Amino acid sequence: MRNVIVFVEHKGGQTRKVTFELATEARALADALGGKAHAVVLGGGAGGLAERIKAYPLDLIHVSEDGDVDRFLIDPAIDYLERVAKSAGPSLILVPNTMYGRDVAGRIAARLNAGMAADVTQFGVEGGRVACTAPKLGGVAITTCLFKNTDYGVATVRPNAFSAQADGSGAEIVAIEKPAGRSYAMTIEDDVEEASGELGLEEAPAIVSGGRGLGGPEPFETVLKPLADALGGAVGASRAAADAGWVPYSLQIGQTGKTVSPQLYIACGISGAIQHKVGMRTAGTIIAINKDGASPIAEFSDLVVVGDLFQIVPELTKLVKESKSS
């Protein structure tokens, strides 16, 4: 494979930072492979978004604003992506490792009979082949895999694992022709947003996360949120907190929630179960505030402060705020 294609995930033209991370990494990989860097932007708002993505070092941005992409679940998007992949020739397709991204990856991998690498945090090019590095088995192994027997590879890429660098180079924007003779079977009747449109968890530089130790919904707002705000970050949660209905599932971090790699992760009243750990263990600095110094989270934290989160967090918020204003 020589080319690199970025699948852009967005909603009505609003995208996340990972798009720009992928665009930047696509350039580096395409250069190493001697091919071109492409992006595919589909559905309502695609045109406007393509203009923004243009600031990143891509060669071609393929756009379609076809309403079918928003009316029908996934199938039209896969048809368009397939079309671009076939016209670009052998390529590596990059999608964000999100719920939607994983769906796209599985579908396009089958459509193109391609190999698939999941949750990639690092790429390399060795002798013209792409190497994908990803943590596996809850982080006990870091594996590097290569594609074989195929012209195409698909990688789901962990948000926040790569840096984004605009260079204003101005890719060419081209329209994708509608694939002919398709009819779609899964109709989206309703699309409901439950999380507020704040900073996405995956791209937050700092996450203040709460678990069962919070004891109810209010402390997420009154105790954790002020600290997250002071740090310029976002609030996350364990599954126990989401299961209890204290926060929406969209804030859940872990194997069945979001995978995050912030620079700073502060776990408050979270014990550190394996399913939680796999979603956050690649964070830069991990700090736990827990009543119990022997809880499993101590095994993968940099610092554990043993004490009551309700006393510590507000004091910490004060210190962070003071440091900002001084």
Partner 1 sequence: MRFSIPEVSGSVKIVVTVKLVPDTNAEKKIDPASKRLVRAGMETVLNPYDEYAIEGALKIKESLGGDTTVTIFSMAPAASKEVLRKALAMGADDAVFLTDAGLEGSDVWGTAFAMAQGLKKVGFDLVICGGLADDGSTGGVPGALAEYLGVPGFTNCRRVDVTGNTLKVQRETDSGYQVVTGAMPALVSVTMAIGEPRYASLKGIMGAKKKTIATLALADLGLDHAVGGDGAKTEVATIAAPPVREKARIVEAADGAAGAKVIFDLLKEKKLV
Ligand X SMILES: Cc1cc2nc3c(=O)[nH]c(=O)nc-3n(C[C@H](O)[C@H](O)[C@H](O)COP(=O)(O)OP(=O)(O)OC[C@H]3O[C@@H](n4cnc5c(N)ncnc54)[C@H](O)[C@@H]3O)c2cc1C
Using the rule CB under 8 A, is 131 a contact of partner 1?
Answer: yes
- 131's contact among partner 1, ligand X, none, with CB below 5 to 8 A by partner kind, is partner 1
For position 305 contacting ligand X by CB under 6 A, the verdict is no
CA distances from 107 to 9, 67, 104, 121, 326 (A): 15, 20, 5, 21, 52
**Segment near partner 1 (CB under 8 A), from 45-53, 163-171, 172-180, 282-290?**
282-290
- Coil, helix or strand at residue 4: strand
CB of 238 vs ligand X, minimal distance in Å: 3
Q: Is 76 in the site for ligand X (CB under 6 A)?
A: no
| Residue among 76, 82, 214, 52 nearest 152 (CA) | 82
Q: Which does 252 bind (CB under 5 to 8 A by kind): ligand X, partner 1, none?
A: ligand X
- Partner that binds at residue 211, options ligand X, partner 1, none, CB closer than 5 to 8 Å by kind: ligand X
What is the DSSP secondary-structure string of 255-317?
Answer: TTSB----SEEEEES----HHHHTTTTT-SEEEEEES-TTSGGGGG-SEEEES-HHHHHHHHH
The binding track of 212-251 with respect to ligand X, each residue x by CB under 6 A or -, is xx------------------------xxxx----------
Report whether 28 contacts 55 (CB < 8 A).
Answer: no
Residues 319 and 316: their CA atoms lie apart, in Å, by 5
**Residue 270 carries which side chain, given as an amino acid letter?**
I
* CB neighbour class for 322 (10 Å; exposed up to 12, middle 13-18, buried from 19): exposed
Give 57 or 159: the residue with its C-beta nearer to partner 1.
Answer: 159
Tell me if 282 contacts ligand X by CB under 6 A.
no
Beta-bridge partners for 135: 142
Among 103, 174, 179, 296, binds partner 1 (CB under 8 A): 103
Rounded CA gap, 138 and 161, in Å?
A: 17
Q: Which two tokens stand for residue 284?
A: 């830069």
- Scanning residues 209 to 228, which ones bind partner 1 (CB under 8 A)? none
238 binds, among partner 1, ligand X, none (CB under 5 to 8 A by kind): ligand X
Strand-pair partners of 236: 209
Stretch of 8-16, 58-66, 170-178, 306-314 lying at the interface with ligand X (CB under 6 A) = 306-314
Q: Which does 212 bind (CB under 5 to 8 A by kind): partner 1, ligand X, none?
A: ligand X
Q: Does 261 bind ligand X (CB under 6 A)?
A: no
Give the nearest distance from C-beta 172 to partner 1 in angstroms.
30
Cα–Cα distance for residue pair 235/226, rounded to 1 Å:
9
Q: How far is the CB of 105 from ligand X (least distance, A)?
A: 19
127 in contact with partner 1 (CB under 8 A): no
The residue from 30, 42, 231, 247 that contacts partner 1 (CB under 8 A) is 231
User: Interface with ligand X includes 286 (CB under 6 A)?
Assistant: no
